[in-house]
Amino acid sequence: MKHREKKYGGALDRLCIQRVFLVVRAAFLTGRIAAVFLLFFLFASMSAYAAEDTGWLDRQNLFLTEQLNALSDFRVTYQWGDKVAAIDGNFLPYWLVTDQNLSSMRQQRINPATGSGLFLIQGRESTLPENLYSVQGIICNEEGVPLISEAALFQSMNHLFSTFLGEGTEEIIQFVATDGRTISFPTENKVPGKDTYDAATEFQVLKNAIIGHQTTDWRIFADSGETPKIQSVGTTYIEINLSEQKLYYYENGEQKLVTDIVTGNEKLKRETPQGFFRVYGKQTNRTLRGDGYKAFVQYWMPIYRNIGIHDASWRKSFGGAIYTNAGSHGCINLPPQAARQLYGMIAVHTPVLVFK
């Protein structure tokens, strides 16, 4: 990279060295008086050169200032509900290629969707030019025009929309339980706010505004709402009612199994966790191990961490209030026959709803 700024080690230094050599040579040939006159000539020449060089740098800085002012002449305003925000020339300093970020810019792989490896230069989209100059720490092309990083531009837009539209609304799983109640569960999923706008379209609108020095008054987006998005659990799922100590299995809307169960011991604070889960595996003939216990089960259907549904051949009875004082370590205990039936009917990823 070349530098158009004044740098020591350049033409001025070479000129000084040449003239000092002449002075030294003249001192030997003509004596001190001649040397003094030559030194006077040397410093006079250097002052004139420096003045000329300073004037050239002033012109470069003035041209750079004009370019930056021109690039700042745009504004795009966004509205979402009663919220208003804008991207304008105040963002420009974050997008410029500089001495500090040039190295990372060179390493970017080209990706038009996010602007990676692409730059806006003199109203055109381009890759990074080979010949670059640094003026006051700002990287310019051969004509002295600053470079705008499209990747930085996209990041600013994306950050604004994330803040502007929010991180998203919560997704809720809802179903009608066997006892007639409508049960709702929050999931770990969110409906992202960014889904309410087309990133590719807005990125192009913003680039066009910068290139054309435009003021785009309003980009209005529909209010996606703060109300959680309701999702149906579907027609095939396992329902576990902790209060009733019952497990129900529905397949395509038809009840296929109902059985008494024993869940986590309430007295010992080992309650079975409530929530929306899925069967994440199936295994036969497994030995379960935990803090202070070891149990062999024939049918193992885990739903959350080390919590699962399994047979409990060591129990003589199920249901009722057993769980309050003599419950499990957190798992859902089934009679062996019911566990065998359930294991044979369900698939991995079957939804499981646990509630009181």
What is the number of domains present in the chain? 3
C-alpha to C-alpha distance for 10 and 30, rounded to whole angstroms: 30
Residue where a domain stops, chosen among 188, 215, 232: 232
How do residues 318-327 score in pLDDT, each as one tens digit? 999 999 999 9
Residue where a domain stops, chosen among 182, 215, 232: 232
Question: Do 300 and 280 have their domain in common?
Answer: yes
Residue where a domain stops, chosen among 207, 232, 257: 232
Question: Do 120 and 221 have their domain in common?
Answer: yes
Closest CA to 170 of 223, 231, 80, 222: 231
Domain around 288: 237-355
Q: Bridge-partner residues for 184, per DSSP?
A: 174
C-alpha to C-alpha distance for 75 and 89, rounded to whole angstroms: 7
Question: Do 88 and 226 have their domain in common?
Answer: yes
C-alpha to C-alpha distance for 242 and 6, rounded to whole angstroms: 79
pTM tops 0.75: no
Which letter does DSSP use for residue 86 in this model? E
Question: Do 115 and 146 have their domain in common?
Answer: yes
Residues 201-240: b if buried by 16+ CB within 10 A, e if exposed: ebbeebbebbbeeeebeebebeebeeebeebebeebbbbb
Question: Do 102 and 118 have their domain in common?
Answer: yes
Question: Do 266 and 136 have their domain in common?
Answer: no
30 pLDDT exceeds 50?
no
C-alpha to C-alpha distance for 277 and 331, rounded to whole angstroms: 13
How do residues 254-304 score in pLDDT, each as one tens digit? 999 999 999 999 999 999 999 888 998 899 999 998 877 889 999 999 998
How do residues 88-130 score in pLDDT, each as one tens digit? 888 888 999 999 899 999 999 988 888 899 999 888 899 999 8
Q: What angle do CA 99, 105, 111 make, to 5 degrees?
A: 160
